[in-house]
Amino acid sequence: MKILIADDEFMSLHLLKATLERAGYEVTAVDNGVQAAEILCRPDGPRLALLDWMMPQLDGPSVCREVRSKRSQPYVHITLLTSRNSKQDVVAGLESGADDYLVKPFHPDELKARLRTGLRILQLEDSLVEARENMRYQATHDSLTSLFNRGIIMELLSRELSRSIREKGCTTILLGDLDHFKEINDTRGHVVGDEVLREVARRLLASVRSYDFVGRYGGEEFLIVLNNCDTDGAMMRAEEIRLAIAKTPVTVSNSLVPVCISFGILVSRDWGTLPVEEVLREVDAALYAAKEAGRNCCKLAKPTHQQKQFLP
């Protein structure tokens, strides 16, 4: 475990460093508060710190305040070392952001015990952060495919459409549906069907840019939001994604399962200002047209002459 120690007295710093290294810590030693604050505020800085109260340029409590104001995650456990032992000093140290307070001279075993307590607190904090992130992930992602779930992809779509209107940009929406997926489930079983969905999700993600969005819209349907993609590039991008799905069968338990997908496409600039519900209705109609055209193809939603009259 990394630990930072700060003390302007050379001998105290040297002895403390030797004690902690024997205890198995990876020690960074500095002799002033400015250096201590700079190192502790780094994203990859040590998460344990022992700070002498009295130091040049920046004292221990000031370092605590600096760290608390600039680095909230991951948490840094800070212990102040001082010869002051009045209640007022203890309160002042803790209110500056310190987690513990050790009065000099202290026994090495007491120091090690307090650091072990600090480690337990950090481990608990890490567990809570991990649990929070897991809950957040589960609330925003589809459990089978790990894509964005329907609620989040709809929210992202709405946000991107608003941004495109505000910035006079263009967003392309793809609604895809796996062809003959019911037949896969009926003849090969739902376990194979689930593996197909997971592999298709992986291929979809690999086919888009890092700033595009892919979500599971429902069942075997997928919604893709391509940012800054206009009419000229929409069909080409859709065909590239379609081919990424269809060109190679999915391997499940040494068995090859052919898969293909149909896409409806809508380019926001062609339609002007439409609510999300209308956008989805139009792109769904384009998807239906792709199915009617024989599947494994892409169809672009085109506004009628009457609809074009309402474009800005």
| Mean pLDDT of successive 10-residue stretches along the chain, which has 312 residues | 91 90 93 92 92 89 92 87 79 87 87 91 90 91 96 95 91 96 94 96 96 96 94 91 96 92 94 88 96 95 59 35
Kindly list the domain boundaries of the chain, sorted by start residue. 2-139, 150-308
Residues in the chain, how many?
A: 312
Q: Is the CB of residue 146 less than 8 Å from the CB of residue 195?
A: no
Q: Which residues are catalytically annotated?
A: 220
Q: Is the CB of residue 33 less than 8 Å from the CB of residue 63?
A: yes
CA distance 113 to 2: 16
How many CB atoms are located within 10 Å of the residue 129 CB? 13
- For the record, the structure tokens of 231 come out as 């009419």
pLDDT score, position 254 = 85
pLDDT score, position 312 = 32
Specify the DSSP element, H or E, that contains 231.
Answer: helix 231-246
- For the record, the structure tokens of 255 come out as 């068995």
User: What's domain 2-139's superfamily in CATH?
Assistant: Response regulator (3.40.50.2300)
Please give the torsion angle defined by the CA atoms of residues 70, 76, 79 and 80, in that order, rounded to the nearest 10 degrees.
-10
User: What's domain 150-308's superfamily in CATH?
Assistant: Reverse transcriptase/Diguanylate cyclase domain (3.30.70.270)
Please give the torsion angle defined by the CA atoms of residues 219, 262, 207 and 197, in that order, rounded to the nearest 10 degrees.
30
pLDDT score, position 306 = 43
DSSP 32: S
20 burial level (CB within 10 Å; 0-12, 13-18, 19+): buried
Q: What does R_g of the chain's alpha carbons equal in angstroms? A: 30
